[in-house]
Structure 1
């Protein structure tokens, strides 16, 4: 190996270490004590996975180890341990990401970016964390498939060895870093979407009523009342609302406002109790079902 070639190799290795060390260090300073690290071979085969202390992850020996795996065709992924850290993947516009104070933004391939956000407090449980991840992904136009509280991101400094990038595999690079950034817990999704964790206490009922008013959904004119002998009307209305909300969360990870409208229309059409008591009853039925489904999903995690 010539001196020039040796110098280039040394310079390249130093750049890898500096960038990867910065990636781990920024997130460690933001509060990460451990990292989940995974090396996945592009060609298939055994996956390396480990839980590594933050200090070791940024150390030269461990970075040398990851560099060898990357050189041999492994993707290098990692995430800080804990629900405070939110990954938004596959966003093209960096300016959109910067609006919500990311701790670090990585360009994983030309024009594609990942951002890590450190929340102001830890979500209450996994379902709450998942709802926040979905909120960020929907708001910023990220990949919904990556909007999970345990999803890993690409570590900056290592090559993206996807086949489509061959033979010039791009190196993931840091385009923004701010270890002191603190992100919001309540990123609002675009109009028409609600996150799956309901507001606390009676605020959930007010939220549903406000939706009725905001969308201009006036209560239908009451016609002749009709009897429903032998039916527990409240239980039946609650069960229908819970079924629709459960399906919404399974399919979309969020509750669309049109689903709330569908529940409301169905209750006014089929429930004499809704016709008699109006929107207050409908709102409380939807709120109770929403709270029940969210609680059930949280216990299931």
Structure 2
């Protein structure tokens, strides 16, 4: 990534503080818009800061009351600085909670919509999906999945251990995908076999074409899966008669900003393969084949609605 998450969040906080100060000029507003438009990460950080800002809406109000007695210039300067600090609170929350410190410090990470392929020194191949972060320690034969999803191909007999919050996967002469959710992770084996163990030490062997859900409560039962579900490795999102709501929830992972849709669209069916490098194009293709319309407030705030019937 050309930008780090802390730098982007810090910049969003500075813009927010400027706007909250009441001293922003028309040129400042133009500059903010240019900054937001210059990169998807900027718009995403700004939208998060705005949403988090609402959680602290009462704080500036209390500070504003202190200025009603017309304090002297020195005190007004203190209040102005305090207001700037208050405006930074959402960004601090964003930095500390929404973007965990271990993700910032990760050896490798991707932004929303970004995917990357990394050859490792031992000949293994590592891929990261959108909004993912890992630590890599080949000396200890360990990869820590901190956030998101990875694909790992280990051609040799020397095993690599993928550690998650819910257990670990031992990969040797195999290809595997591991996706981490808030309440568990999904392990899918494409070739070879792997050993999956939960936090309590219970383990199973998982073969090609099988997947298993790993949670704090333990391991689920292995089930078969279609490899098209892992098309992100080739930059493709594929659906086979899938409910539109499920498809859009998956597509959201690859789009910075806000994507909303009318609940009546949930049960429409989607079939096709879509290139992930242009999610705006995907939405337009959906609109051309399904009874829906795309309404863009900005590039990063999009709503899907049922197509209006002609009179």
Q: TM-score, normalised by structure 1?
A: 0.26
- Which structure has the greater CA radius of gyration? 1
* More helix as a share of residues: 1
Please report the TM-score for the alignment, with normalisation by the length of structure 2: 0.25
Tell which has more relative contact order, 1 or 2 (C-alpha 8 A, sep 6+). Answer: 1
